[in-house]
Amino acid sequence: MVEADAWRARMGFHLLSIRGDNPEDREALKQLLAEGQERVMALQDAAESGEKERMSAIGEAWQALSERAMDNPLASLGYADYGAMSEMNTTTLAVASQVEDAEAGTSGKYRDVAALSTAMQRVGSEYLALAAFPSAGLPTGTGLPPMDFAIEAKKIDNQLDTLKKKYRADAQASEVLNFISQRWAFVRNTIPRMNEQDANKVPYLFYRYATQVAERVEELVSE
């Protein structure tokens, strides 16, 4: 969930530029970052002695991400400078990397459903980045290759199908997965052509639905 929060924070950062630093968007981002901080602190408090250093590193990475996410220069004008976009990428990736290293070899109920949400938040964050600025994708400042939206969308399709079959006897999980499927269907067809200049983009709709998915999955894994 911390990793999903990191991608959501990046999504919120770019939404500020898309909607001209809308006060409601800024407040929602502020709340998300605060809730993420609480989640990180809970992990630190629960960490055993051998995990303290790793949890501390996650906390530092989250703090750096939080500071960058709330500082989007020129957002009120519909822009952000290259340095801000680049740093948003690297701080998000730092949190994701730290969390993935920490969770290696661990297990948890509905972890695969949480992974689906994380994948959707990652695609959503890249979707909003490119909707805001064609040059704001993950490669900015990272050296990573551009995201292939068609491939990533197909992966999510496959994850959804697999999880629906796995949890068909689980009423709670099935309800959440059906909700995810409905929301995914609304934005799915806009994704494969995302890299094309004339593609019809619906960034705020994607933001809303990705956020709703994250919240429903959080409720599921927290029970």
pLDDT of residue 80: 78
The pLDDT score that the predictor gives to residue 142 is 84
- List, for the chain, all residue ranges whose pLDDT scores fall below the cut of 70: 105, 192-199
pLDDT of 28-86, one tens digit each?
Answer: 999 999 999 999 999 889 888 888 888 999 999 999 999 999 999 989 988 878 899 99
* Count of residues in the chain: 223
Q: Residue 215: CB partners within 8 Å, gap ≥ 6? A: none
Is pTM beyond 0.75 here? yes
**What is the DSSP code string of the chain?**
-HHHHHHHHHHHHHHHHHTTS-HHHHHHHHHHHHHHHHHHHHHHHH--GGGHHHHHHHHHHHHHHHHHHT--TTGGGT---HHHHHHHHHHHHHHHHHHHHHHTT---TTHHHHHHHHHHHHHHHHHHHHHH-TT-STTTTT-PPPP-HHHHHHHHHHHHHHHHHHTTT-HHHHHHHHHHHHHHHHHHTTSTTTTSTT----HHHHHHHHHHHHHHHHHHHH-
Is the CB of residue 54 less than 8 Å from the CB of residue 102?
yes
Report the pLDDT value the prediction gives residue 192, as an integer from 0 to 100.
62
CB 214 within 8 A of CB 4: yes
Query: In this predicted structure, what is the pLDDT of residue 206?
Result: 93
CA distance 13 to 109: 30
Domain range summary for the chain, segments of one domain joined by +? 2-222
